[in-house]
Each structure stands twice: as C-alpha cells, then as structure tokens.
Amino acid sequence: MKKIAILGSTGSIGTQTLSVVREQKDIQVTALAAGKNIALLEQQIREFSPRLAAVWEEAAAKELRTRVRDLDVEIVSGMDGLLAVATDKEAGILVTAIVGMLGLRPTIEAIRAGKDIALANKETLVTAGHIIMPMAAEYGRRIFPVDSEHSALFQCLQGAALNPVRKILLTASGGPFRGKKREELRHIQPEDALRHPNWNMGKKITIDSATMVNKGLEVIEAKWLFHVSPDQIQVVVQPQSIIHSMVEFEDGAVIAQLGTADMRLPIQYALYYPERRFLSGDRLDFTKLKRIDLEEPDTDTFRGLKLAYEACERGGNLPTILNAANEKAVAMFLDRKIGFLDITEIIETCMRDCSRVEHPTVEQILSTEQEVYEYIESRW
C-alpha cells in the first residue's frame, strides 16, 4: 500500500488528491497539513486517519486538538509542523500542494528524508530549481509534476529514451481576458478576474492565470524539470484546455497529451507512476469535438509572461523577485488596494530595483522575498 503525506490538504489540489485516495482505496494518508480551514481539516482527519496533522497558527492548532481529542492524532503547528509532515517517517511520497514559498523548506527536507515529491507548488522550482533538482538527483528521489501542463510534458516524454527535445510547447488557456487589450483591463475587479473559463482553482492561481504570470512561472518551472533553455519553451494559447502541452523532437515529430480539464488525472499519474489506473469522470469525445484553437499569446497586454521569460533567462534571484512581487501584488489586488494592471507594474519595478544575487542560497532566496515585500510596502 502506498503511503503519502500532503501539504495543503484543504486547498484545491489537496482536496482533489484526497478524492483520488478515496476512489482508489489503496493509499494510506499518514500526515496532513493545512492553513486556516480547521473545520475541513477535522473532517479529513476523521475520514483518512492520519497520525499527524499540522496547521500554521498555534491558536488554530489548539482548537483542532480540542476538536479531535477523541482521535489518535498528533497536532503540530508553524514551520516546525510543516517540516514534521514533510519528513513523516511512514510516507514515501510528499504531495506539495501548499501555496507560495512556504513549500520550499519542507520540500528540501522531504528530499533529504528520502521522499519522492508530487510537486504542485511551482514556487519551489521557480525560486530554487538550481538547488532542488541537483539535490533530488543526489538523493535519488523523483520529482513528479502535478501541474496539468508539466504532467502533460512528463507524460509525452515517456518512451522518448535519450532522444533530445527540440522544443516544449506549453499550453495556456488565455484566462478570462483572452483577446482583450490593456486599456480594457484597466478597471477589472477581483470578481471579474476570478471567473476562469475552464478550471476551478484557488484565488491566487486564478488571478495568476488572468494576468498570465502563472504561465510565466510555469516556463521557469519547465526549464528545471525538463533541462531545457528558455528559448526552447514556447507558450501557445489553447482556449479549450484540451491539449495540455506538447513536445517537439529533433525529427519534427510532436507528441501531445490531451484530456478533459480534470486535475485528478495528473495527481493520480504522479501518485501511481508509471501505472495508469481507471479514473472516473468525463472523456473526450472526438466525434463531437469540432475544433481545437491555437493562438500566440499577447505579451504586450499580458506583460507578466514577458517578464517571466526575462527572469528565466537572467536567472539568479530574479525569479524569486518576480514570484515574491507577484504574490504580494495579487494579495493587494484581491484586497482592492491596487488595480489589475498594477500587478505587472509592481513586478517590473521590483525586478528593476531590488538587489540581485547570481547564485542564491536558500537563506538568500528567503531574504530576497522579505526585501521585495518590504520594498512594495514602502512604495504602495
């Protein structure tokens, strides 16, 4: 029986991971970590019987201990709690579905503890791919991508042997504002940006999709996962979210992974690799599929994608600056403190003005994040 631990169990990826566990019935959940939703975490503890659970704030942990005092489960909190879940002795796979750079240190410690990683926390590779990938190789651990696009690329590369990749074609839905120009986005409100046409995701990633910063972060993640240069990664808008990504080889052959918009598929593939199991849900019906559209992204309107390519090419701590500035700006936008277009303005300003480090350590990555937050607070 497989044994897994989950960081971010009450979020979108976490709950869908538990849906896979519920359906397959041969995975044991040994540890769970969540943020503030202790009501849902309590339900998960009662259903899946982990021996360890973590929440961020100690006050929430205290309340959760009271709620589950009739169960044999240890409740921990803070970063120490996340690290305890990440390194739980029983688990063989850690699902990193936590949002933001909180996932960095737990992922590192999980690799050191001998865990394979089902990676849904893109910030880990965006900011520290130069640390994570060599460490995984050193410890003989596998990084299984859970993002639908990176899972698609991973699936396309199975059976490729040592044949070199010429190009990665990373697909994007285009988000809710595909086809609009900058001036049309000036008065966009959070509720407008949260209406994604294809996917049901958390608020932060949904805003990132609307700005296309999310696709830029995925470009940086793909660089590390698949050992390619930025000029080998081409973003293609595919509005129906049917083609999840493609790989072009040296002979011109292109292999694509297609499917419905269901995140359980890449989650299940990561947990059971290389086995493919039956998954309930809709299937593509090619007799009813009338068209698949492909478009070039508008990087003049969605400048976040262009900025991400710049960060990817220049490297160092610039991807961390981009990521931290975006996290802070998105939070401000959701709080209605800035406008939609201000998100990329803030990112660009931080990339220009914040301190540069060529080969950042984990400590320098975390200090860069703090510097960016403080800089934004001082100016906006």
Which pLDDT tens digit goes with each residue over 278-332? 999 999 999 988 889 999 999 999 999 999 999 999 999 999 999 999 999 999 9
Give me the residues paired with residue 94 across strands.
5, 117
What's the pTM value of the predicted model, to 2 decimals?
0.93
Distance (Å, whole) CA 57 – CA 219: 33
CB 94 within 8 A of CB 86: yes
> How far apart (Å, rounded) are the C-alpha atoms in residues 13 and 187?
30
pLDDT score of 205: 86
**pLDDT (0 to 100) of residue 219:** 98
Task: Tell me the C-alpha distance between 285 and 270, whole Å.
Answer: 25
pLDDT at residue 213 is higher than 90: yes
**Domain 2-145 belongs to what topology?**
Rossmann fold (3.40.50)
pLDDT value, residue 175: 87
Exposed (0-12), middle (13-18) or buried (19+): which is 340, by Cβ within 10 Å?
Answer: buried
Short-list 318, 323, 299, CA closest to 360: 318
pLDDT (mean) for 70-87: 97
Q: State the pLDDT at residue 203.
A: 87
Helix (H) or strand (E) holding 234: strand 233-237
d(CA 203, CA 226): 28
pLDDT of residue 159: 85
pLDDT digits (tens, 9 = 90+) for 145-183: 999 999 999 999 998 888 999 999 999 998 899 999 999
Lowest mean pLDDT among 93-97, 98-102, 260-264, 293-297: 98-102
Does residue 95 carry a pLDDT above 80?
yes
Q: Hey, how many other C-beta atoms are within 10 angstroms of the C-beta on 25? A: 7
Find the Cα–Cα–Cα–Cα dihedral 237, 243, 247, 248, rounded to 10°: -70
- Between CA 329 and CA 305 the distance in angstroms is 15
What is the share, in percent, of the chain residues with pLDDT greater than 70?
A: 99
Short-list 190, 227, 201, 91, CA closest to 147? 201
Q: What was the pLDDT predicted at 46?
A: 98
| Neighbouring residues of 204: CB distance < 8 A, sequence distance ≥ 6 | 99, 100, 327, 330, 331, 334
Q: Would you give the DSSP letter of residue 182?
A: G
d(CA 138, CA 160): 23
The per-residue pLDDT for range 114-138, each reduced to its tens digit, is 999 999 999 999 999 999 999 999 9
Burial of 252 (0-12, 13-18, 19+ CB in 10 A): exposed
What integer is the mean pLDDT of 46-67? 97
Q: Does pLDDT of 211 surpass 80? A: yes
